[in-house]
Structure 1
Amino acid sequence: MSENKNTMKNMIIDWGLPDCIKENENYIVFKFDDKGLHNTKERGYHCEDGNVKFCLYNKKNEKVLFSMDFYKRNQRIMEELKRDKKEINLGLLYVHDESLRRKGIASYYIEKLKYYAIQEGVDQVSLRANANAINFKQDNKKNSLSQSELEKFYISRSSLEIPIVLFT
């Protein structure tokens, strides 16, 4: 495993857990691969420098609680897209466990991502807000955000320091 991969993993693990799930911290692990994951169809967890998909996994009840996927955009691609800002693309921010939705988990990790973006000299976080993403069509929608609520969620977390830009 490369040093950059370990550094990235350690940084994310150091982000810690939000208060609403800390009481179970002895059972919750950060997973950066698909090995041993049960009760989810979501796959492709990985960790490379600037390109990460991780989940919080409860070993006790064998459930994925939360997933996040983000990557730094390649500068060459940004030039081809005629975009002059350095950005991180947030591909996934999802609370799988409906009983944990609306308790601050997504907010906690978006703030961690913004801090990481600042450290990396990134200008903005970009994402496509999609409350009806195909990979979660079969999931329970209890406590989930509607499309307009999801857009408002991201816009409310935008700041002068790190704007969050929604694209269609």
Structure 2
Amino acid sequence: MDDKNEIMRERVVSWGLPGALVSKKDVIEFKFNDDDITDTTETNYHCKDGDVKFCLYDGEAMKVLFSMEFFKVNSRLVKEIFVKLEFLYVHDEKLRKKGIASYFIGKLIGYAICEEVDFIKVHANANARNFKKDNKKNALMQPELEAFYEKRNTKEMPIKLLKHTL
């Protein structure tokens, strides 16, 4: 792994764990690859050239608890620099609505501000194909998901919601 990728990886790991997971800090690992992950339909974890997809993996229970994917876009065509949030998901229904997604969107906002991007772009889709096979217990419905992102939209770091259409 080159230095740039390693720095990005270290940056994400330095975000730490949200309060709901701190008690399990000795068994939770930030994973940037699919090695040893067998419990989820989500795959292709990576950290390469500013494109990051990681998960929090509980090594004791041998399961993925949370996944996030984002990348920085420098569009010379429209002269915008933004972070695209592709995926933010709490897999374990017992951990939903405990501040884990809020914690990591906050970290992403901090990252975007440090990177001096124009905004964060999110395709908010509560029924994305990634979620089809998972238990929906405690999951946000579409209006709640949109509200989750909209309430984090600020002048300092705008969040542009790409509305889901059927």
2: distance between equivalents of 1:85 and 1:75?
A: 5
2:124 alignment partner, SS class: coil
Q: CA deviation at 1:75?
A: 2.3
Cα RMSD (Å) of the superposition? 0.9
Task: Specify which of 86, 95, 108 is matched with residue 91 of structure 1.
Answer: 86
**Alignment partners' CA distance in 2, 1:33 and 1:66:** 14
Partner residue of 1:154 out of 149, 156, 162 = 149
Question: 1:167 matched to which residue of 2?
Answer: 162
> 2:16 aligns to what?
16
Is the Cα contact below 8 Å between 2:67 and 2:90 reproduced in 1?
yes
Residues 33-58 of structure 1 show CA distances to partners (whole Å, capped at 9, x for unaligned) of 01110210101100023210000000
* Secondary structure at 1:52 match in 2: strand
Residue 47 (1) aligns with residue 42 (2): no
- The two structures have a TM-score, normalised by structure 2, of 0.95
Write the mapping of 1:1-168 to structure 2, written as runs, cut at 5 A.
1-76=1-76, 79=77, 83-168=78-163
What is the CA–CA distance in structure 1 between the aligned matches of 2:9 and 2:73, rounded to whole Å?
19
Contact 2:74 2:80 in 1 (8 A): no
Deviation at 1:73, TM superposition (A): 1.1
**Number of equivalences:** 163
Give the % identical residues.
Answer: 51
Q: What is the rounded CA distance, in whole Å, between the counterparts of 2:125 and 2:81 in structure 1?
A: 23
| Residue deviations 1:12-37 (CA, integer Å, cap 9, x gap) | 00000001110000000000001110
Runs of 4+ residues over 3 Å off in structure 1: none
SS in 1 for 2:144: helix
Give unmatched runs, 5+ long, in structure 2.
Answer: none
CA displacement, residues 93-133 of structure 1 (integer Å, 9 cap, x when unaligned) = 00000000000000000010011111111010001100001
Q: Report the residue type matching 1:44 in the other structure.
A: N
Q: Distance in 2 between matches of 1:54 and 1:165?
A: 22
5+ residue gaps, structure 1, are none
Task: Say whether the 8 Å CA contact 2:31–2:54 is kept in structure 1.
Answer: yes
Tell me the TM-score normalized by structure 1: 0.94
Which range moves more in the overlay, 66-75 or 8-17?
A: 66-75
